[in-house]
Structure 1
Amino acid sequence: MRLLAGSIIFASAMALGASTPALAADPAAPPATATAAPQDGNDDSDGLLNSAPPATPTESLSDAPTDPALDDDPDIPGGACEPGHKCPAAGDCDERRWFKPASLNGKYHKGVGPSQANYNGSHEKEDMVFTSEVSGTVGASFTGQITTKVSSVLAEVSTQYSVTLQASMTAKLGNVVHVKAVPPHKTVYAQYGVWRRKFTGTAYYQHHTCYLTKTHVTGYGPMHVGWYTWDE
């Protein structure tokens, strides 16, 4: 991930009156309630409180380029069959690259900048608002060698599972989330960033020698910008 140029300002949070809408971008959103975090990632929680921080991927991931101009076919070494392996018939083949999705899994929140926090020290419920003051770009991440363009991988997943995943998304300054009716003596945390969807599949590359490179891949593709909120 590459942060956009600009200074990072410590974010602020302040209490609002009870008439504040549940979410600036969606006035019809329901009031905040505490919900348990799912085992596989976390559901969207813009305007809703979770009971734990956002889950993080357990895999060792490599970030893909976030600049579309860098979305090129990767250089895959090894076009000859290794001794001791079952080799394809000799002869030239057309070079082919493709990705076959296997599963679409949970949602994971990738934060941009530090999380914010606000404590209700009163004896009554309070409404709070958090404003993003950090801007950054979040791209796709992978474990395992992808053999084709990042955009091609995400397009295959999007088509097969009727979702919309992009190569990168930018979380911008000034986005606001409201949390309503925070109980007394509770601390609310808010993390701004990008929601990504986890998926798995197999990346293939048929070399001109007819040798086939095949790699299992786990990936996280950006879905939309938003908040994750939780309390303690």
Structure 2
Amino acid sequence: MRTMIRRGLLVPIAAVAIFGSTNSAAFAESMEATPVEEGILQPGPPPEEEEGFESAPSETEELPPTSGKPPADGPSAEYCGPTKHVYKPNANLGKAHAGIGVAQANYNATSRTARSWFKSEVGGEVGVTVSSEVKASASVVVSEVEAKYGVDLSAKVTAKVGNEIQVDTPPKKTTYAKFGVWRMKNTGIAYTIYSNCTTSPKKTGTTFSPWCVGWYLWER
């Protein structure tokens, strides 16, 4: 895949986010937080993901039945079904880029605009990651976020070697390029419903759900 950026279409600040998808407009309209749009330049490299996040399990872990009576205000039946981990997104925090491999860079030492051409040299998979409060599976997280915001996401996205992008580099500037996967960042309420109809305390958790393969570019 080759992507070309015309400098005349961009405002001359420090960086640009590029997405490898055709549904960016519909995606942007569904977001409550300020998104990173195609063609909008960013002030610097993408921030590193916060600590404390781990990969979500591919499927909900099977837990043994819970003994005991249901709460007084709960259903009359003691058994409600298998234990279920729940995640309900309630705030969209925009897009976040998960880089694969190191950033590439090209310095233009001339007095005229030069063309920089970047090509991905490392590929890999990026899946759903969650904070410790979220116990739901990747499939549950993705389905809940999709339903909440009307978008198409994936439990796992593969970024392949060979993806290309071209961009104009101004005189005496360095263009940086990082290849990877764009993800939706959300916060929501996480809890567990046990087989005896009791519910664990509700906590606020954060999730990152893969959306599409793309580049993150910036200049200095």
Please tell me whether the aligned partners of residues 46 and 216 of structure 2 are also in contact (alpha carbons under 8 angstroms). Answer: yes
- The alpha-carbon deviation at position 64 of structure 1 amounts to 2.5
2:59 — aligned with what?
72
Q: What is the aligned-residue identity percentage?
A: 35
- The alpha-carbon deviation at position 211 of structure 1 amounts to 2.3
1:195-210 equivalence runs, <5 A? 195-210=182-197
TM-score for both structures, normalised by structure 2: 0.76
> Kindly tell me: are residues 186 and 124 of structure 1, through their superposed partners in 2, closer, same or farther at Cα, counting changes over 3 Å?
same
- The alpha-carbon deviation at position 51 of structure 1 amounts to 2.6
Partners of 1:178 and 1:51 in 2: how far apart? Answer: 19
> Which 4+ runs in 1 deviate beyond 6 A?
26-30
2:54 — aligned with what?
62
Unaligned runs of 5+ in 2: 18-32
Number of corresponding residues: 197
Unaligned runs of 5+ in 1: 1-22, 66-70, 82-86
Confirm or deny that 1:94 pairs with 2:80: yes
Partners of 1:138 and 1:30 in 2: how far apart? Answer: 33
Residue 151 (structure 1) aligned to one of 123, 128, 139: 139
RMSD: 3.2
Per-residue CA deviations over 1:66-119 (Å, capped at 9, x if unaligned) read xxxxx22125689478xxxxx823962313523322111211100011110010
2:93 — aligned with what?
105
Deviation larger for 127-136 or 145-154: 145-154
Aligned partner of residue 201 in structure 1, secondary structure: strand
- The alpha-carbon deviation at position 221 of structure 1 amounts to 0.5
TM-score for both structures, normalised by structure 1: 0.72
Confirm or deny that 1:212 pairs with 2:183: no
Per-residue CA deviations over 1:114-173 (Å, capped at 9, x if unaligned) read 110010011211111101111111111110343432112211111111112211101111
Please tell me whether the aligned partners of residues 203 and 216 of structure 1 are also in contact (alpha carbons under 8 angstroms). Answer: yes
Residue 124 (structure 2) aligned to one of 133, 136, 155: 136
> Kindly tell me: are residues 228 and 164 of structure 1, through their superposed partners in 2, closer, same or farther at Cα, counting changes over 3 Å?
same
Please tell me whether the aligned partners of residues 34 and 51 of structure 1 are also in contact (alpha carbons under 8 angstroms). Answer: no
2:173 — aligned with what?
186
> Kindly tell me: are residues 199 and 43 of structure 1, through their superposed partners in 2, closer, same or farther at Cα, counting changes over 3 Å?
same
Please tell me whether the aligned partners of residues 5 and 167 of structure 2 are also in contact (alpha carbons under 8 angstroms). Answer: no
Letter in 2 for 1:198: K
Please tell me whether the aligned partners of residues 64 and 142 of structure 1 are also in contact (alpha carbons under 8 angstroms). Answer: yes
1:7-22 equivalence runs, <5 A? none
